[in-house]
Structure 1
Amino acid sequence: MALRDFVRSNTPQFLLNAFRKYKKKKVNAALKNQKKKGQVITKDDLIANFKSIGIVEGDNLLVHSSLSKIGFVEGGPKAVVDALLTCLGSEGNLLMPNSPNGSLQLDYIRNLTCFDVNHDKSALGAITEYFRKLPNAIRSLHPTEPVSCVGKDAVYFTNEHHLDHTPYAKNSPWYKLAHKGGKILYIGVSLDNAGTSLHCMEDAVEEFKYPVYYHEEFTVEMKDAHGNVSQISTKVHNPEFSAKRKCDELLPLFVEKGVAEEVKVGKAKTYLFDAKKMLEHMIYYYEKEGITMYTPNGEEL
């Protein structure tokens, strides 16, 4: 996360756009080549895959994902989402973050006029955008870090997110997922580019010792699913401190302590986390050894 944010903030936009275009072209060519060779992943393949790594009926599961990292998936995002929902069954809940912000939170919030829960597209990949638009998906109303949920407890996970003044506090889907003993799946991504669950600890402890939030609180408009407009106040991350993140350096600790397991989904390197253990271990090691995503070895900044 830190390196990505540093590059984004120090590279001219036209160069970023050119690089993204080149990268997308290269990825698409690789996927076409996989299809040509018959290296096709089907919905049934994904169902078997998800079950083999420990996704079971009744799970509360939050998913971060990169479709291209999985390989050539027949049916695209729909096949991935359908496979996940099949594995979870009628008693499970599937959650996906789908922030419309593809840049720094501070830049985004300064230019935001109104967050429209129905129409603001996800900037977090094709799977999340497909999931967001499902008729039975409920999207939380937080303007910087919305999360959508499909399942019997979708209202519980999403309906109070906007009531906190920070995105990851006790009313957030991330905190509620930990409270419910849920799981987090990182498909083809890692903590460096999808480390939102790590922020729960910062919001859960009393007076977190580092200035992770920008000093100014922002009030913006939001339009809910029924078209009603109201206001919400929220803090956003301090970009100068965000640049100090070393999220992936925490992975060895999580794996060693049984918080996370490295698995595979298709061709994608994947991590499966226990959400409750993740939060509990982050609080414990912060309080006992000073370990955070900024100080993964317990050193002081």
Structure 2
Amino acid sequence: MDEMGLLERSGGPVTRSRISRELAALGLGDGDVVMFHTRMSAIGYVAGGPQTVIGALQDVVGLRGTLMVTCGWNDAPPYDFGTWPQDWQDVLRAEHPAYDPDLSEADHNNGRLPEALRRWPGAVRSRHPDAGFAALGAAAAELMADHPWNDPHGPGSPLAWLVAHNGRVLLLGAPLDTMTLLHHAEALAEAPGKRFVDYEQPILVQGKRVWRRFHDIDSEEGAFDYSAVVPEGQEPFDAIVRDMLAAGIGRQGSVGAGDSYLFEAADVIDFGTAWIEDKLSK
């Protein structure tokens, strides 16, 4: 959509002060620890782009608050490079740059905000190359500390620390299926058929590039086969979040032109884990 179309949708420029007011009306407040997902085009014409959104979030959560995003690694080697011809594998292993929390770009599929926040002065990024996160604010270092190499969505992960810090999740114009925190529910859920992946990526160990093997739930294709309990064409996380909202969990409001939602992280995990175990254990 062109700029005029975005302006018309949002009733004029969406400014920092407007976003701040509307986030406060949604229920975000001073001192909050919040993981956020954003779709800029849904909000409308945001004057200043990601800088404006991050600034508005900082205005609302204040100096005691913390912002968190999911990053990943945009230029990570593909999971299946081990199936390539051997000479191609050898070239990749010899020269693929190691994941560097300071330099490696966040996954572009997550939108513009994760890359903007992880580059923000004072931001802290977790050490995991594939399931990494970044945070900015008072609790950033605690949230990102010692991200487990294996089971990086499970206990001890930034997602687990978000829950432990009484954190919240904000979908800022973002689709319901972007609720990354539900990967933590998948990691915790005790249900049959849980799917895992093993893969290799290069990381830095005492300044040297080292290939390391990782083990995790399959967050790309799905940790479970949801086809029997989710209608065809609907994303599983969309179904879970819609049921969550129908149960009265979460708050809904408008920020700019976009529908936005605010959830308590603990409620997401309690509901999501129970939903998975109940639906998939029958």
> Secondary structure, in 3 states, of the residue corresponding to 1:235?
strand
Structure 1 residue 134, shift from structure 2 partner: 0.7
1:223 alignment counterpart: 204
Q: Which runs of 5+ in 2 are unaligned?
A: 84-91, 227-234
C-alpha contact 1:101 1:108 (8 A) present in aligned 2? no
Structure 1 residue 128, shift from structure 2 partner: 1.6
Structure 1 residue 234, shift from structure 2 partner: 1.9
Structure 1 residue 229, shift from structure 2 partner: 4.6
1:263 alignment counterpart: 253
Structure 1 residue 167, shift from structure 2 partner: 2.3
Structure 1 residue 228, shift from structure 2 partner: 5.9
2:266 alignment counterpart: 276
1:116 alignment counterpart: 100
2:59 alignment counterpart: 86
Q: Distance in 2 between matches of 1:74 and 1:108?
A: 41
Q: Distance in 1 between matches of 2:32 and 2:193?
A: 34
Q: Does 1:131 align with 2:114?
A: no
Give 2:139's aligned amino acid.
Answer: D
C-alpha contact 2:66 2:139 (8 A) present in aligned 1? yes
Q: Distance in 2 between matches of 1:36 and 1:268?
A: 13
2:229 alignment counterpart: none
1:201-232, CA deviations, whole angstroms, 9 ceiling, x for partnerless residues? 222245x4223213xx23432238x9565564
Q: Does 1:180 align with 2:152?
A: no
Deviates more, 1:237-246 or 1:37-46: 237-246
Give 1:72's aligned amino acid.
Answer: Y
Give RMSD over aligned pairs. 3.0
Change (3 A) 1:78 1:240: closer
Deviates more, 1:43-52 or 1:232-241: 232-241
Q: Which runs of 5+ in 1 are unaligned?
A: 1-26
C-alpha contact 2:67 2:135 (8 A) present in aligned 1? yes
2:185 alignment counterpart: 201
Q: Normalization by structure 2: what TM-score?
A: 0.80
Comparing both chains, which one has the higher relative contact order based on Cα–Cα distances under 8 Å and sequence gaps of 6 or more?
2
Structure 1 residue 271, shift from structure 2 partner: 1.8
Change (3 A) 1:232 1:40: same
Structure 1 residue 107, shift from structure 2 partner: 4.9
Deviates more, 1:77-86 or 1:174-183: 174-183
Structure 1 residue 90, shift from structure 2 partner: 1.1
- For residues 36-185 of structure 1, the aligned pairs below 5 Å read 39-101=12-74, 106-107=79-80, 113=96, 114-122=98-106, 123=108, 124-161=110-147, 163-185=148-170
Q: Distance in 1 between matches of 2:82 and 2:127?
A: 14
Give 1:269's aligned amino acid.
Answer: D
> Secondary structure, in 3 states, of the residue corresponding to 1:86?
helix
Pairing partner for 1:252 from 242, 253, 269: 242
Q: Distance in 2 between matches of 1:109 and 1:198?
A: 29
C-alpha contact 2:74 2:104 (8 A) present in aligned 1? no
Structure 1 residue 54, shift from structure 2 partner: 0.5
Q: Normalization by structure 1: what TM-score?
A: 0.75
> Secondary structure, in 3 states, of the residue corresponding to 1:116?
coil
> Secondary structure, in 3 states, of the residue corresponding to 1:127?
helix
Identity, % of aligned positions = 23
Structure 1 residue 103, shift from structure 2 partner: 9.9
Structure 1 residue 174, shift from structure 2 partner: 1.1
Q: Distance in 2 between matches of 1:55 and 1:239?
A: 30
